[in-house]
Amino acid sequence: MKIAVIGAGIGGLGAAIRLSLKGHEVTVFEANNYAGGKLTDIEVGGYRFDAGPSLFTMPENVTDLFTDAGKNPDDYFRYKRVGESCRYFYPDGTHFIAYDEPDRFAEECEKVLGVPQKKVRDYLAHSEKLFNLTADLFMKNSLHKLRTYLSFDTFKSFLQIHRLELTKTMNKANEDRLGHPKLVQLFNRFATYNGSNPYIAPGVLNIIPHLEMSIGTFFPEGGMASISRSVEKLARELGVEFEFNAPVEQILIDKNVAKGVRVHGKNRLFDRVVSNMDVVPTYRRLMPTQPAPERTLRQDRSTSAVIFYWGIRKKFENLGLQNIFFSENYREEFRFLSEVKNISNDPTVYIHISSVLEPDDAPAGCMNWYILVNAPHNTGQNWDEIIARTRKNVIKRLSKELGEDIESLIEVEDFLDPRRIEMRTSSFQGSLYGASSNGLFNSFIRHPNFSQRVKGLYFCGGSVHPGGGIPLCLLSGKIVADLIK
Mean pLDDT of 358-376: 98
pLDDT in tens, 49-97: 999 999 999 999 999 999 999 999 999 999 999 999 999 999 999 999 9
**Is 253 domain-assigned?**
yes
Please tell me the predicted confidence (pLDDT) of residue 235: 98
Residues 151 and 188 in one domain: yes
Please tell me the predicted confidence (pLDDT) of residue 167: 81
Residues 129 and 207 in one domain: yes
Residues 161 and 228 in one domain: no
| Strand arrangement of the beta sheet that strand 25-29 belongs to | 241-243, 25-29, 2-6, 272-275, 457-459
Cα–Cα distance, 259 to 455 (Å, whole number): 9
pLDDT in tens, 135-161: 776 766 665 554 554 455 655 655 565
Query: How many domains does the chain fold into?
Result: 2
Residues 207 and 239 in one domain: no
Please tell me the predicted confidence (pLDDT) of residue 328: 96
pLDDT in tens, 400-438: 999 999 999 999 999 999 999 999 999 999 999 998 888
**Is 173 domain-assigned?**
yes
Return mean pLDDT, the chain.
93
Range of 191's domain? Answer: 118-211
For residue 233, give the CATH number of its domain: 3.50.50.60
**Is 218 domain-assigned?**
no
How sure is the predictor about 470, in pLDDT bands with cuts at 50, 70 and 90?
very high
Please tell me the predicted confidence (pLDDT) of residue 23: 97
**Is 158 domain-assigned?**
yes
Please tell me the predicted confidence (pLDDT) of residue 149: 45
**Is 129 domain-assigned?**
yes
